[in-house]
Amino acid sequence: YAITPETPDTAHLCAQSAAVLAGGARVLQYRSKLTQPQLREEQAHALAALCKNAGAIFIVNDDVPLALACDADGVHLGRDDGDLASARQRIGSRRLLGVSCYNQRALAQSAQAAGADYVAFGSVFSSGTKPAAVRAPLTLFSQARSLKLPLVAIGGITLETAGEVIDAGADCLAVISDVFDAPDPKARARALIG
């Protein structure tokens, strides 16, 4: 589960994303907090096309209207990104709804009740993307198995720590820096999938 880095360079973003998808990433989330709306829409449409061609799932972070506009496969929402039940109603049943649950199993239970398709816990490790993020202990993954939803781990995950996170019970690893900052993103994605 690759998450894009913040960049105004659409060509570079697409080239890196194509490499990560060629390396075997099955999900790509477009995450952009600082880009202007017009550029966000341009980038989202370009990445949606890349994912469609690669047979990968395309998720938009924090923006239901943008996910609908680019016909994304789903949207991922955090605690401040709107009502989950309302988002589920807007995106319909064919799109995925992912929810950030930080370090709280109770949030994951609420997300499941609101129609989430998967939940994410993190930051599992210290993260350069969100240095002030709360930390989610690895034990949370085994405790959340009763939810019957896929569990995504996010935050500071690297090739060196991936096995530990999977062993703890995560179904999927959401990775930004370890893949996109690698000299060869395709090879790094392939190694993480291992």
Residue numbers annotated as active site: 31, 100, 130
Nearest to 171 by CA among 151, 193, 148: 151
179 sits in the region (left: phi over 0; alpha: psi -120 to 50; else beta) called alpha
The answer to whether 155 touches 138, Cβ cutoff 8 Å, is no
Would you call 83 helix, strand, or coil by DSSP?
coil
- Say which residue the tokens 């994951």 belong to: 108
Residue 94 burial (CB count, 10 A): 7
The H-or-E segment that residue 173 falls in is strand 172-174
The answer to whether 20 touches 185, Cβ cutoff 8 Å, is yes
* Gap between the Cα atoms of 70 and 50, Å rounded: 12
In sequence order, the 6+-apart residues with CB closer than 8 A to the CB of 108 are 99, 101, 116, 119, 121, 144, 147, 149
